[in-house]
Amino acid sequence: MKKLSLILVLMLVLTTIAPVAFAKGSYLGYLTVVNCNEWVTLRERPSTKADTVARIPLGEQVEAYYYNSEFSECYYLGLHGYVLNAYLSSSYQEYLGYMTVSHCKEWVTLRSYPSTSADTVTRIPLGATVEAYWYNNEFAECYYCGLHGYVLLAYLE
């Protein structure tokens, strides 16, 4: 009985540390799925042609390790695979404060996700103020009149 208990404890410990033990790159922490419409693909290998392990919904978090400049090695709900780095972001966002819409003729578009092809949430008039958080080198995550979305950084000062 003691032998069986010891084996079970050892198996539990190994399954708990397995992601850390087998990951090759430096630990990136928990990253959030971003820059997609609905989900990203967790793949068996670091290749866009590799088989799909799972679909990870927009906004979900994965535990990530650096693999290369294109992919991160990830763990999601106990599954292991690789996700394109372009779809992962740290949950930390630098607060930019209140910024003014500028460098436009009449208005800028508050978009549903950070892409110029994303649906329009609303239009924000020239001179209006938004509360902004850094998102990436192109967009800021913004709040305007109780609405949430993304605005091109080039139009904020």
Residue 13 binned pLDDT confidence (cut-offs 50, 70, 90): very low
Tens digits of per-residue pLDDT, 79-106? 999 999 888 876 556 788 899 999 999 9
Domain-located, residue 13: no
Give the chain's domain count.
2
pLDDT recorded at residue 93: 64
Structural domain for 143, as ranges: 95-155
In a domain, 120, yes or no: yes
Instruction: Let me know whether 31 and 79 are in one domain.
Output: yes
pLDDT at 4 over 50: no
pLDDT above 90 (res 130): yes
Per-residue pLDDT, averaged over 8-24, amounts to 45
Give yes or no: residues 65 and 26 share one domain.
yes
Q: Tell which wins on pLDDT, 134 or 81.
A: 81
Q: In what order do the strands lie in the sheet with 79-84?
A: 52-57, 39-43, 79-84, 71-76, 61-66, 27-33, 88-90
User: In this predicted structure, what is the pLDDT of residue 108?
Assistant: 98
- Residue whose entry in the numeric block shows the structure tokens 């008039």: 125
Does 102 lie in the same domain as 59? no
The answer, yes or no, to whether residue 55 has pLDDT greater than 90, is yes
Per-residue pLDDT of 31-46, as tens digits, reads 888 888 899 999 999 9
Q: What is the pLDDT of residue 98?
A: 95
For the segment 134-151, the average pLDDT, to the nearest whole number, is: 87
- Residue 75 CA neighbour count, 13 Å, CB half: 17
The pLDDT value recorded for residue 1 is 55
Residues 69, 133, 109, CA angle at the centre, nearest 5°?
95
Nearest to 152 by CA among 112, 115, 100: 115
The pair of three-digit structure tokens given for residue 13, joined into one six-digit string: 């410990």
